Structure 1
Amino acid sequence: MDNPKISSLNADERDRKIKKITALLSFLICIFFNIILILFAVNTGSLKVSLMELYDGLFIAYNPNVATIYDLRFPRIIISLLAGAGIATSGCLFQAVLKNPLADPGIIGISSGAGFVSVIITAFFPMLFFLTPIFAFIGGILAFFLVYTLSWKDGLSPLRIILVGVAVNAMFAGLSSALNSMAGGNMQGVASIVNGNITMKTWSDVSILFPYIIIGIILSLFMAVNCNLLSLEDTTAKALGVNVNRTRIVISSIAVLLASISTAVVGIIGFLGLIVPHIGRLLVGADYRKLIPFSVILGSFTFLLADTLGRTIASPYEVPAAIIMSIIGGPFFIALLRGSRNYGK
C-alpha cells in the first residue's frame, strides 16, 4: 500500500513544479508579446517601414521615414512602457502595504493628487517644467496622507480606504478639470495630464520619466522580501524583527514616487495598478519576488497595448489610453469587488 504521507509529499512537490513552470512560461510569454507589440506599435500609423528599413535607418544610413518614426513614435512607445511598468508596480506595492487587493494609485487618489499639482506647475509655473516630477511626488504624498488619515478609525478598513480614496480622487480630479477649464482647455500640457493623453510626447519627456521609474523599480525589487513580510500579521512580522511602520512608510513612498512621476508625464491612468498585480497573482503567485518583476513586464505591455489600441480603433482619430483603461478596468474592478470576501470588513 502507498503511504498517504509520501503520496501527499509527492503531490505537493508536483504542485510546486507546476507552479514554477507556469510562472516561468508566464514570464517568457509576456516578454515575447511585449517584443511583438513594440514592433507592431513602431509600424502602426501612416508611415510604415520594413524591419530591414528600420534597422538600416537607425544604425546605417539616414532615412527620412525612419527619422520621423524615431522622433514621434519611439518616445511614445518608451514612455508607455515606462509609465505602464511604474503604475503597475505602484499598485502592487500599495496592495502589499494596505493588504488590500483593491488598492490602486488611481482609485485611492494618489494619481489625482499628483496630477493636480502637475497641472498647477504646468499652468502657472512653466519655467519649472523639469521639476514637475518632484512636485507631482509631493502631490502624491499629500493625497496618500489624506487617504490614510481620513480612513483611520480604530484601524484601517479596506472598504473605508477605497471609499475615502474615491472621494479624494474625485476632489483632486475636479480641481484639475477646473484649472483646465480656466485655462480655456487649450494648454496642451494641462489637458494631457487631465485627460491622460500621451500624444506628441518627445525625447525630453522620456529623459524626465526614465531615471525616476528605473530607480523606483530597482528599489521595489529590493523591497520585495519586505512586501512578503507585510502580508503576515503585524505581530508575526514584528516577531521576525521587522519594523512594520517604517517598512510601510518606505514602501508607500516608493509606490507614491512611481505613480506620481508616471502621472506627471502621461496623466491620470486608472485601474492599471489594479488589474496587472491581480493577473500576476493568478499566473506567478503571491510571492512579491516574482510578482513585482512580472508586474513590471505585464504593466508595460498593458499600457502600450491600450495606447496602441487607442491609435488604431478610430484612426485617424485617437482615443486616449486612459479611456481604454477605464473601459477595461471598470468592469474588472466591479468583478473583483464582488468576488472579494473581505472587502467590506
Structure 2
Amino acid sequence: MKKTIISFIAIIILFFGVVYFSVFTGSIDVSMSELIHGLVSGTNADVQVIKDLRFPRIIIATFAGASLSVAGVLLQAVLRNPLAEPGIIGVSAGAGFMGMLMVAIFPTLFFFTPLFAFIGGAIAFALVYSFSWKSGLNPLRMILVGVAVNAIFTSLSQTFNYRGSYTSSLVTEVTTSTLAMKKWSEVEIIVTYGTLGLLVAFLVFSWCNYLVLEDKTAKSLGFNVNLARFIVSAIAVLLTSIATATAGMFIFVGLIIPHIGRLLVGTDHKKLIPFSAILGAVLILLSDTLGRLIIAPNEIPASIIMALIGGPFLIFLLRKSDRIYGN
C-alpha cells in the first residue's frame, strides 16, 4: 500500500514537472509571470504563440498517452496476453486507415473522425481475434496475426497517401504522428471523446480483474465473461481510435506502460488503470518535448522516439514469453 501511494505521488509530481518543462522550453522563452499576464491580457505575442502552438500539443499528447496506455491495459486483460498492444496487433493501423478515409470522403465531419476510426479499429481487432482463435487464444499466434493485420492496414494507408492528390496531403496532415501544428479544434475532439473513454474504462476495472482469470474460474464466480470481454474490448478500441485519429499512430505505449504499472502499483486494475493513464501521458508528452528539442529547430516525431524505446522492450518481453498469461 505504501509503495502504491508513493508511486502515485511520484508520477503526479513528474507529470506536472514534464508539463512545466514542455511549456517553458523551446525557441520562445517567457517567465511564469509573463505567461500568466499574457494569457489574461492577450497582449504578449510570445505568450499567444505558446498558447496556440504549445498548449494544444501538450493537451493532445497528454490525452493520447493516457488513452493508448489504458487501451493497452484493457486489451492485455481481455486477451490475457501481456504482449497485446493496440499498435502491435493492428488496431491503431485499422483506426488510422478508416479515419484517413473518412476525412478524405467527408471532410465536413471532422469532429466525428474518432467514431469513423473506431469502426476501423474494431474491424482490425475482430480480424486478429477471429484468426488467432484455435481452441483458445495462443499469445504468439495472436501477435503474428496482429503483425499481418497491421501490415495490411498500413499498406492501405500508404497506398492512399501516394495518390499524390491535394486531398491526400491534407489527410496525411490530419493523421500524422507528429504533434506539431495541432489546433484547438483537435484539442476539443480528443478531450471530449478521451474523457468519456477514460471514465468508462475506469468503471470496468472490476471486470478486468475477472478477465485475467481463466474463463472457467470467472464463470464459476457468476461472471459473464463473453459480455465483459466484448464491452472492455470496445472501450479499448475506442480509446485507441481517439488517440490515433487525433495524434496519429504510436506503437509500444500500451505495451510498456502497463508492465511498469504492474511493477509499481500491482495488478489490481482499480489502481493500474489510473496509474497507467498518468504514466502514459508523461511518456508521450516527454517524448514529444524531447523530439522538438534534440535537433531544434527541426523535430523528431514522438512516435519515432517511442519506437526506439519500445522495440528493445518488446524483444525483452518475447524473451520472457514463458510468463505470458494463459501459457
**Normalising by structure 2, what TM-score?**
0.96
- For the pair shown, which has the larger CA radius of gyration, 1 or 2? 1
Three-state SS of the structure 1 residue aligned to 2:296 is: coil
Aligned to 2:117: 136
2:299 is the counterpart of 1:318 = yes
Look up the match of 2:13: 32
1:173 aligns with 2:154: yes
Equivalent residue in structure 2 for 1:303, among 273, 277, 284: 284
Tell me the CA shift for residue 195 of structure 1.
4.3
Partner of 2:188: 207
Q: CA deviation at 1:185?
A: 8.4
How many angstroms does 1:283 deviate by?
0.6
Q: 1:129 to 1:81 in 2, by over 3 A?
A: same
Structure 1 residue 33, shift from structure 2 partner = 1.0
CA distance in 1, matches of 2:173, 2:96: 10
* Deviation beyond 2 Å, 4+ runs, structure 1: 59-62, 122-125, 183-195, 342-345
Counting only pairs closer than 5 Å after superposition, residues 23-172 of structure 1 correspond to structure 2 as 23-60=4-41, 62-172=43-153
Preserved contact between residue 161 and residue 169 of structure 2 (Cα < 8 Å): no
Deviation at 1:194, TM superposition (A): 5.6
Letter in 2 for 1:318: E
Q: Return the offset for 1:82.
A: 0.5
| Local SS of the residue matching 2:102 | helix
Is 1:219 aligned with 2:200?
yes
Offset, 1:122:
2.5
- 1:263 aligned to 2:215? no
Deviation digits for residues 260-288 of structure 1, max 9, x if unmatched? 11100111110000000010011111111
Does structure 1 retain, via aligned residues, the 8 Å contact 2:261–2:275? yes
TM-score (norm 1): 0.91
Q: Is the 8 A contact 1:177 1:194 kept in 2?
A: no
How far apart are the structure 2 equivalents of 1:189 and 1:242? 47
1:60 CA drift (Å) = 4.9
Q: Is the 8 A contact 1:79 1:206 kept in 2?
A: yes
Q: Check 1:331–1:184 CA distance in 2 against 1; reply closer, same or farther (3 A cut).
A: farther
Deviation digits for residues 106-152 of structure 1 (CA, Å, limit 9, x no counterpart): 00000000000111122333222222111000001100111111111
Q: What is aligned with 1:11?
A: none
Deviates more, 1:284-293 or 1:117-126: 117-126
Distance in 1 separating the partners of 2:293 and 2:169: 22
Kindly tell me: are residues 185 and 31 of structure 1, through their superposed partners in 2, closer, same or farther at Cα, counting changes over 3 Å? farther
* Shift of residue 224, structure 1, vs aligned partner: 0.5
The one-letter amino acid of 1:276's match is I
Give, in angstroms, the shift of residue 65 of structure 1.
Answer: 1.2
8 Å CA contact 1:88–1:277 kept in 2: the answer is yes
Q: Secondary structure at the match of 2:38?
A: helix
Identical positions, percent: 53
* Structure 1 Cα separation of the partners of residues 226 and 162 of structure 2: 41
Deviation for aligned residue 1:193: 5.6
Structure 1 regions of 5+ residues with no counterpart?
A: 1-19
1:184 shift after superposition: 5.3
Task: Please tell me the root mean square deviation across aligned C-alpha atoms, in Å.
Answer: 1.6
**Counterpart code for 1:127:** T
Q: Which runs of 5+ in 2 are unaligned?
A: none
Structure 1 position 279 matched with structure 2 position 260: yes
Shift of 1:38: 0.6
Are positions 1:182 and 2:163 aligned together?
A: yes
Partner of 1:4: none
How many pairs align?
326
Question: CA offsets, 1:189-228, max 9 Å, x none?
Answer: 4324664112110100011111111111111111001101
Q: 1:76 to 1:92 in 2, by over 3 A?
A: same
> Does the CA-based 8 Å contact 1:118-1:193 persist in structure 2?
no
Q: CA deviation at 1:62?
A: 2.9
Per-residue displacement from partner, 1:162-192 (whole Å, max 9, x unpaired)? 1100100011011101111113588554324
**1:61: how far off?**
5.7
Shift in CA distance, 61/198, structure 1 to aligned 2, threshold 3 Å: closer
- Rate the CA distance shift 1:194–1:57 in 2: closer, same or farther, 3 A: closer
| Corresponding residue of 2:318 | 337
Distance 1:266 1:209 in 2: 9
